Amino acid sequence: MRPMSPMSLMSLMSLCLLLSCGGKSDSGASGDGLDGADGGDATDGSDETDGSDEADGSDATDGTDGTDESDGSDGTDGTDGVDPDCQLVSSGYGPAGTVDITVEVVVEGLFVPWSIGFLPDGAWLVTERDGQLRRVEADGSLVADPVAVLDVTGSGEGGLLGLALHPEFPSNRLFYLYYTREDGSVDTNTVERWTLAEDGLTATLDRVIIDEIPAGLYHDGGRLRFGPDGMLYIATGDGRDPDSAQDMTSTAGKILRLDPDGGIPSDNPDPTSPIWVSGVRNSQGIDWRDDGRMVITDHGPSGELGRYGHDEINVVDPGDNLGWPEIYRCDAAEGLRAPAMTWRDAMPPGGHAIYRGTEIPEWQGDVLIGVMGFDSPSQPHLHRITLDEAGQVTLSETYLRGEYGRLREVIMGPDGGLYVTTSNCDGRGTCGSGDRILRVGRRPTAG
Protein backbone atom coordinates (compact mmCIF):
# COMPACT_ATOMS: atom_id res chain seq x y z
CA MET A 1 0.00 0.00 0.00
CA ARG A 2 1.27 3.48 -0.86
CA PRO A 3 1.93 5.75 2.15
CA MET A 4 -0.82 8.36 2.64
CA SER A 5 0.05 11.90 1.65
CA PRO A 6 -0.89 14.83 3.91
CA MET A 7 -2.47 16.34 0.81
CA SER A 8 -4.20 13.28 -0.68
CA LEU A 9 -7.59 14.62 0.38
CA MET A 10 -7.22 17.67 -1.83
CA SER A 11 -8.76 15.76 -4.70
CA LEU A 12 -11.91 15.40 -2.71
CA MET A 13 -12.36 19.15 -2.30
CA SER A 14 -14.11 20.06 -4.70
CA LEU A 15 -0.05 47.98 -25.69
CA CYS A 16 1.12 46.11 -24.42
CA LEU A 17 4.38 47.81 -25.26
CA LEU A 18 5.53 46.76 -28.71
CA LEU A 19 9.10 45.65 -27.99
CA SER A 20 11.98 44.51 -30.12
CA CYS A 21 14.19 44.17 -27.00
CA GLY A 22 16.79 46.68 -28.09
CA GLY A 23 17.67 45.14 -31.44
CA LYS A 24 16.35 43.59 -34.55
CA SER A 25 13.88 40.73 -34.20
CA ASP A 26 14.89 37.14 -34.80
CA SER A 27 13.68 35.47 -37.96
CA GLY A 28 12.22 32.05 -38.48
CA ALA A 29 10.25 31.98 -35.23
CA SER A 30 6.53 31.49 -35.45
CA GLY A 31 3.89 29.36 -33.83
CA ASP A 32 2.66 26.57 -36.03
CA GLY A 33 0.08 24.70 -34.01
CA LEU A 34 2.49 22.38 -32.20
CA ASP A 35 2.49 22.06 -28.45
CA GLY A 36 4.86 24.11 -26.34
CA ALA A 37 3.72 22.47 -23.21
CA ASP A 38 6.34 20.06 -22.16
CA GLY A 39 8.17 18.10 -24.76
CA GLY A 40 5.93 15.15 -25.49
CA ASP A 41 7.16 12.45 -27.80
CA ALA A 42 6.39 12.97 -31.46
CA THR A 43 4.99 9.47 -31.60
CA ASP A 44 2.10 10.38 -29.32
CA GLY A 45 1.08 13.46 -31.27
CA SER A 46 2.21 15.85 -28.62
CA ASP A 47 4.87 18.54 -28.79
CA GLU A 48 6.39 20.84 -26.30
CA THR A 49 7.49 23.24 -28.80
CA ASP A 50 5.56 26.41 -29.23
CA GLY A 51 2.71 26.61 -26.78
CA SER A 52 0.21 24.69 -28.89
CA ASP A 53 -0.85 21.13 -29.64
CA GLU A 54 -1.05 19.25 -32.91
CA ALA A 55 -3.64 17.08 -31.22
CA ASP A 56 -6.24 19.83 -31.24
CA GLY A 57 -6.10 20.09 -35.04
CA SER A 58 -5.63 23.83 -34.97
CA ASP A 59 -3.79 25.82 -37.59
CA ALA A 60 -1.54 28.55 -36.27
CA THR A 61 0.98 28.74 -39.03
CA ASP A 62 1.69 32.39 -38.40
CA GLY A 63 1.82 32.09 -34.62
CA THR A 64 -1.36 34.13 -34.15
CA ASP A 65 -5.06 33.54 -33.77
CA GLY A 66 -5.96 35.70 -36.75
CA THR A 67 -6.19 38.97 -34.84
CA ASP A 68 -3.87 41.95 -34.62
CA GLU A 69 -2.31 41.64 -31.19
CA SER A 70 0.20 44.43 -31.42
CA ASP A 71 -1.84 46.54 -29.01
CA GLY A 72 -3.32 43.81 -26.81
CA SER A 73 -6.98 43.72 -25.82
CA ASP A 74 -9.44 46.56 -26.26
CA GLY A 75 -11.52 45.48 -23.30
CA THR A 76 -14.39 44.11 -25.36
CA ASP A 77 -13.56 40.53 -24.41
CA GLY A 78 -14.31 40.93 -20.73
CA THR A 79 -10.86 42.23 -19.79
CA ASP A 80 -9.95 45.73 -18.69
CA GLY A 81 -7.76 46.47 -21.70
CA VAL A 82 -3.96 46.42 -21.62
CA ASP A 83 -1.60 46.32 -18.65
CA PRO A 84 0.84 49.20 -19.27
CA ASP A 85 3.68 47.40 -17.46
CA CYS A 86 3.51 44.30 -19.67
CA GLN A 87 5.80 44.17 -22.70
CA LEU A 88 4.64 42.29 -25.79
CA VAL A 89 7.35 41.07 -28.15
CA SER A 90 5.49 41.03 -31.45
CA SER A 91 8.07 39.10 -33.48
CA GLY A 92 10.98 36.82 -32.65
CA TYR A 93 12.74 36.76 -29.30
CA GLY A 94 15.25 39.60 -29.25
CA PRO A 95 18.79 40.32 -30.40
CA ALA A 96 21.79 38.06 -29.94
CA GLY A 97 23.62 38.68 -26.69
CA THR A 98 27.18 40.00 -26.75
CA VAL A 99 28.51 38.88 -23.36
CA ASP A 100 31.46 36.52 -23.73
CA ILE A 101 30.68 33.02 -22.40
CA THR A 102 32.13 29.53 -22.64
CA VAL A 103 30.21 26.28 -22.85
CA GLU A 104 31.51 22.89 -21.77
CA VAL A 105 29.73 19.59 -22.38
CA VAL A 106 30.12 17.90 -18.99
CA VAL A 107 27.77 14.89 -19.26
CA GLU A 108 26.64 12.88 -22.27
CA GLY A 109 24.46 9.86 -23.02
CA LEU A 110 21.30 10.84 -21.13
CA PHE A 111 17.66 10.45 -22.14
CA VAL A 112 15.56 13.62 -21.66
CA PRO A 113 17.25 14.82 -18.45
CA TRP A 114 14.61 16.91 -16.71
CA SER A 115 16.11 18.03 -13.41
CA ILE A 116 19.44 18.09 -11.57
CA GLY A 117 20.34 17.87 -7.88
CA PHE A 118 23.92 18.53 -6.76
CA LEU A 119 25.21 16.27 -3.97
CA PRO A 120 27.68 17.29 -1.24
CA ASP A 121 30.31 14.81 -2.51
CA GLY A 122 30.42 16.52 -5.90
CA ALA A 123 28.22 13.96 -7.67
CA TRP A 124 24.78 14.75 -9.09
CA LEU A 125 21.37 13.17 -9.28
CA VAL A 126 19.59 13.58 -12.62
CA THR A 127 16.02 12.60 -13.51
CA GLU A 128 15.32 11.10 -16.92
CA ARG A 129 11.76 11.39 -18.13
CA ASP A 130 11.40 7.67 -18.82
CA GLY A 131 11.58 6.99 -15.07
CA GLN A 132 15.27 6.50 -14.31
CA LEU A 133 17.04 8.45 -11.58
CA ARG A 134 20.71 8.60 -12.58
CA ARG A 135 23.92 9.35 -10.71
CA VAL A 136 26.67 11.38 -12.33
CA GLU A 137 30.06 11.29 -10.64
CA ALA A 138 32.00 14.47 -9.96
CA ASP A 139 34.15 13.86 -13.04
CA GLY A 140 31.06 13.80 -15.28
CA SER A 141 30.95 10.03 -15.74
CA LEU A 142 27.47 8.55 -15.84
CA VAL A 143 26.97 5.56 -13.53
CA ALA A 144 25.50 2.72 -15.57
CA ASP A 145 22.99 1.44 -13.01
CA PRO A 146 20.21 3.86 -12.07
CA VAL A 147 19.81 4.94 -8.45
CA ALA A 148 16.08 4.19 -8.74
CA VAL A 149 13.54 3.35 -11.41
CA LEU A 150 10.03 4.72 -11.03
CA ASP A 151 6.96 3.24 -12.69
CA VAL A 152 5.94 6.25 -14.75
CA THR A 153 3.19 6.66 -17.29
CA GLY A 154 4.49 5.91 -20.75
CA SER A 155 2.73 8.50 -22.91
CA GLY A 156 2.52 12.23 -23.43
CA GLU A 157 4.51 14.77 -21.52
CA GLY A 158 4.46 13.09 -18.13
CA GLY A 159 7.14 10.92 -16.60
CA LEU A 160 9.87 11.46 -14.04
CA LEU A 161 10.21 15.23 -13.97
CA GLY A 162 11.22 17.41 -11.02
CA LEU A 163 13.91 16.82 -8.39
CA ALA A 164 14.88 18.81 -5.30
CA LEU A 165 17.21 18.06 -2.40
CA HIS A 166 16.01 18.70 1.16
CA PRO A 167 17.66 21.86 2.61
CA GLU A 168 19.26 19.61 5.24
CA PHE A 169 20.25 16.88 2.79
CA PRO A 170 23.83 16.50 4.12
CA SER A 171 22.44 15.26 7.43
CA ASN A 172 19.19 13.52 6.43
CA ARG A 173 19.85 12.30 2.82
CA LEU A 174 16.29 13.24 1.77
CA PHE A 175 15.26 14.36 -1.71
CA TYR A 176 11.99 14.87 -3.60
CA LEU A 177 10.71 13.62 -6.96
CA TYR A 178 7.76 14.71 -9.11
CA TYR A 179 6.45 12.08 -11.51
CA THR A 180 3.39 10.93 -13.45
CA ARG A 181 1.93 7.51 -12.68
CA GLU A 182 -1.14 5.49 -13.45
CA ASP A 183 -3.83 5.52 -10.78
CA GLY A 184 -6.41 3.01 -11.89
CA SER A 185 -7.80 4.22 -15.20
CA VAL A 186 -6.33 7.73 -14.99
CA ASP A 187 -2.91 9.30 -14.73
CA THR A 188 -1.95 11.47 -11.78
CA ASN A 189 1.08 13.49 -10.74
CA THR A 190 2.72 12.73 -7.42
CA VAL A 191 5.50 14.21 -5.31
CA GLU A 192 7.40 11.74 -3.15
CA ARG A 193 10.24 12.02 -0.66
CA TRP A 194 13.10 9.53 -0.97
CA THR A 195 16.22 8.67 1.03
CA LEU A 196 19.57 8.31 -0.73
CA ALA A 197 21.78 5.50 0.55
CA GLU A 198 25.10 6.45 2.14
CA ASP A 199 27.00 5.17 -0.89
CA GLY A 200 24.82 7.30 -3.16
CA LEU A 201 24.05 4.39 -5.48
CA THR A 202 20.52 3.44 -4.39
CA ALA A 203 17.50 5.14 -2.85
CA THR A 204 14.31 4.12 -1.05
CA LEU A 205 10.87 5.68 -0.81
CA ASP A 206 10.33 7.59 2.43
CA ARG A 207 6.81 8.95 1.98
CA VAL A 208 4.31 10.56 -0.38
CA ILE A 209 4.27 14.34 0.02
CA ILE A 210 1.30 15.15 -2.21
CA ASP A 211 -0.56 13.06 -4.75
CA GLU A 212 -3.57 13.24 -7.05
CA ILE A 213 -2.28 16.36 -8.80
CA PRO A 214 -4.34 16.26 -12.01
CA ALA A 215 -2.36 14.98 -14.99
CA GLY A 216 -2.99 15.10 -18.70
CA LEU A 217 -1.44 13.98 -21.94
CA TYR A 218 -0.02 17.51 -21.97
CA HIS A 219 0.59 20.22 -19.36
CA ASP A 220 1.94 18.36 -16.33
CA GLY A 221 4.20 21.11 -14.97
CA GLY A 222 6.71 19.30 -12.79
CA ARG A 223 9.33 21.70 -11.45
CA LEU A 224 10.35 21.36 -7.78
CA ARG A 225 12.35 23.98 -5.91
CA PHE A 226 13.05 24.76 -2.27
CA GLY A 227 12.65 28.45 -1.65
CA PRO A 228 14.81 30.73 0.48
CA ASP A 229 12.25 30.19 3.25
CA GLY A 230 12.98 26.44 3.34
CA MET A 231 9.58 25.53 1.92
CA LEU A 232 8.94 23.18 -1.02
CA TYR A 233 7.44 24.82 -4.12
CA ILE A 234 5.75 22.70 -6.78
CA ALA A 235 4.82 23.91 -10.27
CA THR A 236 1.82 22.09 -11.73
CA GLY A 237 0.12 22.26 -15.12
CA ASP A 238 -3.56 22.50 -15.96
CA GLY A 239 -3.59 18.97 -17.43
CA ARG A 240 -5.42 20.31 -20.50
CA ASP A 241 -8.31 21.51 -18.34
CA PRO A 242 -7.90 25.31 -18.46
CA ASP A 243 -10.65 26.04 -15.97
CA SER A 244 -8.82 24.05 -13.29
CA ALA A 245 -6.23 26.84 -13.10
CA GLN A 246 -8.95 29.08 -11.60
CA ASP A 247 -10.44 26.34 -9.40
CA MET A 248 -9.11 26.90 -5.89
CA THR A 249 -10.12 23.38 -4.86
CA SER A 250 -7.82 21.88 -7.50
CA THR A 251 -4.03 21.60 -7.36
CA ALA A 252 -3.81 21.83 -11.16
CA GLY A 253 -2.48 25.00 -12.80
CA LYS A 254 -0.83 26.31 -9.64
CA ILE A 255 2.36 26.94 -7.77
CA LEU A 256 1.99 24.98 -4.53
CA ARG A 257 3.85 25.60 -1.28
CA LEU A 258 4.32 22.92 1.37
CA ASP A 259 6.66 22.35 4.28
CA PRO A 260 9.31 19.63 3.86
CA ASP A 261 7.02 17.03 5.44
CA GLY A 262 4.08 17.84 3.15
CA GLY A 263 2.10 20.01 5.57
CA ILE A 264 0.49 23.32 4.69
CA PRO A 265 2.44 26.29 6.11
CA SER A 266 0.33 28.54 8.31
CA ASP A 267 1.48 31.62 6.38
CA ASN A 268 0.18 30.44 2.99
CA PRO A 269 -2.31 32.90 1.45
CA ASP A 270 -5.01 30.46 2.60
CA PRO A 271 -3.67 28.55 5.64
CA THR A 272 -5.89 25.59 4.72
CA SER A 273 -4.61 25.31 1.14
CA PRO A 274 -1.24 24.50 -0.49
CA ILE A 275 -1.89 27.07 -3.25
CA TRP A 276 0.68 29.87 -3.42
CA VAL A 277 -0.07 31.20 -6.94
CA SER A 278 -3.00 30.32 -9.23
CA GLY A 279 -3.95 30.87 -12.86
CA VAL A 280 -0.94 28.95 -14.22
CA ARG A 281 -1.10 27.03 -17.51
CA ASN A 282 2.04 24.89 -17.54
CA SER A 283 5.05 26.18 -15.67
CA GLN A 284 8.43 24.48 -15.67
CA GLY A 285 10.44 27.34 -14.18
CA ILE A 286 10.52 29.04 -10.75
CA ASP A 287 13.24 30.92 -8.87
CA TRP A 288 13.56 33.86 -6.46
CA ARG A 289 15.00 37.34 -6.67
CA ASP A 290 17.06 38.78 -3.84
CA ASP A 291 14.00 40.73 -2.68
CA GLY A 292 12.16 37.43 -2.16
CA ARG A 293 9.76 37.79 -5.08
CA MET A 294 9.25 34.69 -7.20
CA VAL A 295 9.94 34.65 -10.94
CA ILE A 296 7.76 32.23 -12.92
CA THR A 297 7.92 31.29 -16.59
CA ASP A 298 4.76 29.80 -18.11
CA HIS A 299 3.71 28.34 -21.43
CA GLY A 300 1.21 30.22 -23.56
CA PRO A 301 -1.94 28.72 -25.10
CA SER A 302 -2.03 26.12 -27.85
CA GLY A 303 -5.42 26.60 -29.43
CA GLU A 304 -7.58 26.78 -26.34
CA LEU A 305 -10.24 29.46 -26.88
CA GLY A 306 -8.65 30.23 -30.27
CA ARG A 307 -5.41 31.45 -28.69
CA TYR A 308 -1.79 30.68 -29.56
CA GLY A 309 1.74 31.52 -28.48
CA HIS A 310 2.45 34.14 -25.80
CA ASP A 311 4.75 32.31 -23.43
CA GLU A 312 5.49 34.59 -20.53
CA ILE A 313 7.69 35.61 -17.62
CA ASN A 314 6.08 36.84 -14.42
CA VAL A 315 7.28 38.40 -11.17
CA VAL A 316 4.76 37.44 -8.51
CA ASP A 317 3.73 37.84 -4.89
CA PRO A 318 1.98 35.29 -2.65
CA GLY A 319 -1.65 34.83 -3.64
CA ASP A 320 -1.26 36.25 -7.13
CA ASN A 321 -3.48 34.93 -9.91
CA LEU A 322 -1.75 34.86 -13.31
CA GLY A 323 -5.10 34.82 -15.03
CA TRP A 324 -5.09 31.70 -17.18
CA PRO A 325 -7.49 31.16 -18.96
CA GLU A 326 -9.29 34.43 -18.20
CA ILE A 327 -6.52 36.59 -19.67
CA TYR A 328 -3.40 36.13 -21.82
CA ARG A 329 -1.05 38.39 -23.82
CA CYS A 330 -0.89 41.70 -21.93
CA ASP A 331 -4.57 41.70 -21.07
CA ALA A 332 -5.51 43.42 -17.82
CA ALA A 333 -8.34 42.42 -15.51
CA GLU A 334 -9.10 43.20 -11.91
CA GLY A 335 -7.46 40.79 -9.51
CA LEU A 336 -5.32 39.15 -12.22
CA ARG A 337 -1.60 39.73 -12.82
CA ALA A 338 -0.36 40.31 -16.36
CA PRO A 339 3.15 39.11 -17.24
CA ALA A 340 6.25 41.26 -17.27
CA MET A 341 6.90 40.12 -20.84
CA THR A 342 5.17 37.83 -23.32
CA TRP A 343 6.33 36.62 -26.73
CA ARG A 344 3.83 36.40 -29.57
CA ASP A 345 6.05 33.77 -31.23
CA ALA A 346 6.02 30.79 -28.89
CA MET A 347 9.33 29.69 -27.37
CA PRO A 348 8.45 27.64 -25.18
CA PRO A 349 10.37 28.05 -21.89
CA GLY A 350 11.81 25.14 -19.93
CA GLY A 351 13.42 25.77 -16.57
CA HIS A 352 15.15 28.96 -15.51
CA ALA A 353 17.58 30.19 -12.89
CA ILE A 354 18.60 33.56 -11.54
CA TYR A 355 22.32 33.90 -12.16
CA ARG A 356 24.33 34.07 -8.93
CA GLY A 357 27.75 33.03 -10.18
CA THR A 358 30.91 35.12 -10.35
CA GLU A 359 32.34 33.97 -13.70
CA ILE A 360 29.95 36.13 -15.74
CA PRO A 361 29.45 39.29 -13.64
CA GLU A 362 27.42 40.92 -16.44
CA TRP A 363 24.68 38.36 -15.79
CA GLN A 364 24.51 38.79 -12.03
CA GLY A 365 20.87 38.74 -10.87
CA ASP A 366 19.52 38.10 -14.38
CA VAL A 367 17.06 35.35 -15.34
CA LEU A 368 18.45 32.67 -17.68
CA ILE A 369 15.75 30.60 -19.41
CA GLY A 370 16.13 27.37 -21.35
CA VAL A 371 14.15 27.63 -24.59
CA MET A 372 13.14 24.42 -26.31
CA GLY A 373 12.02 25.74 -29.67
CA PHE A 374 10.57 23.60 -32.42
CA ASP A 375 10.22 25.34 -35.76
CA SER A 376 13.80 25.51 -36.94
CA PRO A 377 17.22 24.38 -35.72
CA SER A 378 18.08 27.97 -34.79
CA GLN A 379 15.03 28.49 -32.57
CA PRO A 380 16.15 26.81 -29.30
CA HIS A 381 18.36 29.06 -27.21
CA LEU A 382 19.35 30.33 -23.79
CA HIS A 383 17.41 33.49 -23.04
CA ARG A 384 18.62 36.28 -20.77
CA ILE A 385 16.21 38.66 -19.06
CA THR A 386 17.14 41.64 -16.86
CA LEU A 387 14.47 42.87 -14.48
CA ASP A 388 14.44 46.19 -12.65
CA GLU A 389 13.47 46.64 -9.01
CA ALA A 390 9.78 46.93 -9.93
CA GLY A 391 9.88 43.66 -11.88
CA GLN A 392 9.80 45.18 -15.36
CA VAL A 393 12.01 43.89 -18.18
CA THR A 394 14.90 46.18 -19.14
CA LEU A 395 16.86 43.75 -21.34
CA SER A 396 15.98 40.64 -23.35
CA GLU A 397 18.51 38.79 -25.51
CA THR A 398 19.48 35.35 -26.77
CA TYR A 399 22.50 33.06 -26.56
CA LEU A 400 23.44 29.66 -28.03
CA ARG A 401 20.80 29.86 -30.75
CA GLY A 402 20.62 26.47 -32.41
CA GLU A 403 24.01 25.39 -31.08
CA TYR A 404 22.94 22.58 -28.75
CA GLY A 405 19.31 21.93 -29.66
CA ARG A 406 16.41 22.02 -27.22
CA LEU A 407 17.30 23.34 -23.75
CA ARG A 408 15.26 22.42 -20.67
CA GLU A 409 16.61 22.51 -17.11
CA VAL A 410 18.63 25.56 -16.06
CA ILE A 411 20.16 25.61 -12.58
CA MET A 412 23.07 27.18 -10.75
CA GLY A 413 25.72 24.71 -9.64
CA PRO A 414 27.64 24.84 -6.35
CA ASP A 415 30.81 25.73 -8.30
CA GLY A 416 29.21 28.92 -9.63
CA GLY A 417 28.57 27.52 -13.10
CA LEU A 418 25.20 27.61 -14.86
CA TYR A 419 24.11 24.08 -15.80
CA VAL A 420 21.72 23.44 -18.69
CA THR A 421 20.26 20.16 -19.93
CA THR A 422 19.37 19.40 -23.52
CA SER A 423 16.06 17.76 -24.44
CA ASN A 424 16.82 16.45 -27.92
CA CYS A 425 15.65 12.88 -27.28
CA ASP A 426 12.06 13.83 -26.42
CA GLY A 427 10.86 13.28 -29.99
CA ARG A 428 11.17 16.91 -31.07
CA GLY A 429 14.91 17.18 -31.60
CA THR A 430 17.77 15.16 -33.01
CA CYS A 431 18.76 12.65 -30.35
CA GLY A 432 22.02 11.36 -31.82
CA SER A 433 24.09 9.74 -29.06
CA GLY A 434 21.85 11.11 -26.35
CA ASP A 435 21.12 14.25 -24.38
CA ARG A 436 23.81 16.27 -22.67
CA ILE A 437 24.40 18.57 -19.73
CA LEU A 438 26.20 21.83 -20.43
CA ARG A 439 28.13 24.09 -18.10
CA VAL A 440 27.91 27.77 -19.06
CA GLY A 441 30.47 30.09 -17.56
CA ARG A 442 33.70 31.89 -18.30
CA ARG A 443 36.52 29.97 -16.68
CA PRO A 444 39.96 31.61 -16.79
CA THR A 445 42.23 30.12 -19.42
CA ALA A 446 45.44 28.42 -18.35
CA GLY A 447 48.77 30.13 -18.96
In 157-299, beta strands by DSSP E: 160-165, 174-183, 186-196, 203-214, 224-226, 232-235, 255-258, 275-277, 283-288, 294-298
Q: Say what the pLDDT of residue 35 is.
A: 37
- The predicted pLDDT at position 374 comes to 76
pTM of the predicted structure, to 2 decimals: 0.86
Omega cis (within 30) before 349: no
| pLDDT tens profile 155-185 | 788 999 999 999 999 999 999 999 999 988 8
- The predicted-structure confidence for 245-267, as pLDDT tens digits, reads as follows 999 999 999 999 999 999 999 99
How far is residue 420's CA from residue 290's CA, in Å, rounded to a whole number?
A: 22
40-68 burial string, b = 16+ CB within 10 Å, else e? bbeeebbbbbbbbbbbeebebeebbbeee
Nearest to 393 by CA among 401, 382, 385: 385
Cis peptide before 6 (omega within 30 of 0): no
Cα–Cα separations (whole angstroms), residue 222 to 31, 164, 179, 213, 305: 23, 11, 7, 10, 24
Under 8 Å between Cβ of 79 and 52: no
Ranges in the chain, pLDDT < 50: 1-4, 6-47, 49-71, 76, 447
pLDDT per residue as tens digits for the range 390-433: 999 999 999 999 999 999 999 999 999 999 999 999 988 889 99
Query: Which stretches does DSSP call E strand in 169-254?
Result: 174-183, 186-196, 203-214, 224-226, 232-235
The CATH number of 8-67+81-441 is 2.120.10.30
